[in-house]
């Protein structure tokens, strides 16, 4: 099923322009509609005992965001929306509710000095929106996604979800890699996963996506670092993973890998829960 209705998160941060450009490029490639949601934290201006909303700084940032969105989406079916909330809890709750009405959500990785978005903004949308979330790193330049995707595979519900969602972003002539990880001493599990990877590659082939399977043995560097290293070796422009599942990979607690990836990602990552 093609992507028809996309959502990109906007704020007044310096990485918004790169995030918006990528979302607009995906929308053009997919002939999809794009909505920009301006949402950032802010404090209401106090006048005596009366709180004034929106404060001047927020209003000016929203105005600039709207103008930038219009310029970046010229020729697209596009709409700009202001969440019009500043409290962290309200921003997360209302953005999550809004995001449920779209095929794909495009967010940015939160930098350590980011004061514009709630600390758990991406995590909450991944877990609660019920939609795949593409997160763009806070550093680096990424002109496109899906030409050399890496699919992280395990025999779990969330992995199957991420695998399917990743196919929607794969380019027609993509050179994909499907990576599974196993404990090196588990011969039975290794053999089982080999067959599972073969089926995963066959599923991609049915969707006209060329892919190779690869099994990696878990080592001291950890699961997520192994995936990031292999993605770098592949020259990947997209990593598709099941998020906050916890059941498919051995020796991995629920959600810890997803949180690690959100902090240490080095390429666009598609999180599916």
CATH of residue 30: 3.40.50.620
100 shares a domain with 79: yes
257 shares a domain with 221: yes
Of 77, 110, 136, at which residue does a domain stop? 136
88 shares a domain with 21: yes
173 shares a domain with 97: no
Of 136, 167, 201, at which residue does a domain stop? 136
Angle between helices 187-206 and 157-169 (to 10 degrees): 30
Question: Is there a domain that residue 143 lies in?
Answer: no
Of 73, 103, 136, at which residue does a domain stop? 136
100 shares a domain with 34: yes
13 shares a domain with 122: yes
169 shares a domain with 48: no
Which contacts of 70-76 are long-range, i.e. CB under 8 A and separated by 24 or more positions? Answer: 72/17, 72/20, 72/21, 72/24, 73/20, 73/24, 73/27, 73/34, 73/36, 75/28, 76/24, 76/27, 76/28, 76/33, 76/34
Question: Is there a domain that residue 104 lies in?
Answer: yes
Question: Is there a domain that residue 238 lies in?
Answer: yes
Range of the domain at 165: 149-272
Question: Is there a domain that residue 141 lies in?
Answer: no
Decide if 138 contacts 16 (C-beta within 8 A).
no
59 shares a domain with 27: yes
93 shares a domain with 171: no
pLDDT tens, position by position, for the chain (273 residues)? Answer: 689 999 999 999 999 999 999 999 999 999 999 999 999 999 876 666 557 889 999 999 999 999 999 999 999 999 999 999 999 999 999 999 999 999 999 999 999 888 999 999 999 999 999 999 999 999 888 888 999 999 999 888 889 999 999 999 999 899 999 999 777 677 787 788 899 999 999 999 999 999 999 998 776 567 889 899 999 999 999 999 999 875 544 444 467 889 999 999 999 999 999
| Euclidean distance between CA atoms 218 and 175, whole angstroms | 24
41 shares a domain with 153: no
């Amino acid at each position: 099923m093609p992507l028809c209705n996309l959502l990109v998160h906007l704020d007044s941060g310096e990485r918004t322009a790169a995030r918006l450009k990528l979302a607009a490029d995906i929308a053009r490639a997919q002939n999809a509609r794009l909505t920009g949601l301006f949402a950032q934290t802010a404090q209401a201006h106090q006048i005596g005992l009366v709180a004034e909303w929106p404060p001047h700084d927020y209003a000016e940032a929203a105005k600039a965001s709207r103008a930038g969105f219009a310029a970046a989406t010229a020729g697209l079916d596009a709409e700009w929306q202001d969440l019009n909330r500043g409290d962290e809890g309200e921003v997360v709750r209302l953005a999550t509710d809004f995001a449920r009405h779209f095929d794909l959500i495009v967010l940015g990785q939160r930098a350590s000095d980011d004061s514009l978005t709630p600390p758990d903004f991406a995590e909450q949308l991944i877990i609660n929106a019920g939609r795949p979330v593409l997160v763009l790193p806070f550093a680096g330049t990424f002109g496109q996604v899906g030409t050399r995707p890496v699919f992280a595979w395990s025999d779990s519900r969330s992995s199957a979800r991420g695998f399917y969602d990743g196919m929607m972003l794969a380019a027609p002539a993509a050179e994909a890699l499907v990576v599974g990880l196993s404990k090196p001493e588990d011969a039975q599990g290794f053999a089982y996963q080999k067959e599972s990877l073969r089926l995963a590659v066959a599923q991609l082939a049915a969707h006209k996506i060329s892919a190779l399977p690869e099994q990696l043995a878990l080592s001291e560097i950890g699961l997520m670092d192994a995936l990031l290293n292999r993605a770098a070796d592949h020259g990947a422009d997209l990593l598709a993973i099941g998020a906050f599942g916890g059941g498919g990979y051995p020796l991995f607690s629920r959600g810890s890998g997803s949180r690690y990836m959100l902090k240490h990602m080095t390429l666009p990552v598609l999180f599916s829960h």
